[in-house]
Amino acid sequence: MALTLGDANRMVQAAIAEAERINIKLSVSVCDAGGHLLAFNRMEGAIYISAVAAQGKAFGAVGFGRDSSAIPADSPVIQAIMATQGGRVIPAQGALVIEKDGDIVGAIGGSGGTAQQDEDCARVGLAAL
Q: What is the pLDDT of residue 87?
A: 86
Phi-psi region of 16 (alpha: psi -120 to 50; beta: other; left: phi over 0): alpha
Beta-strand (E) ranges in the chain?
A: 27-32, 37-42, 95-100, 103-111
Mean pLDDT by groups of 10 residues along the chain of 129 residues? 94 98 98 97 98 97 97 93 92 97 96 98 97
Distance CA 2, CA 5 (A): 10
Q: What is the pLDDT of residue 35?
A: 96
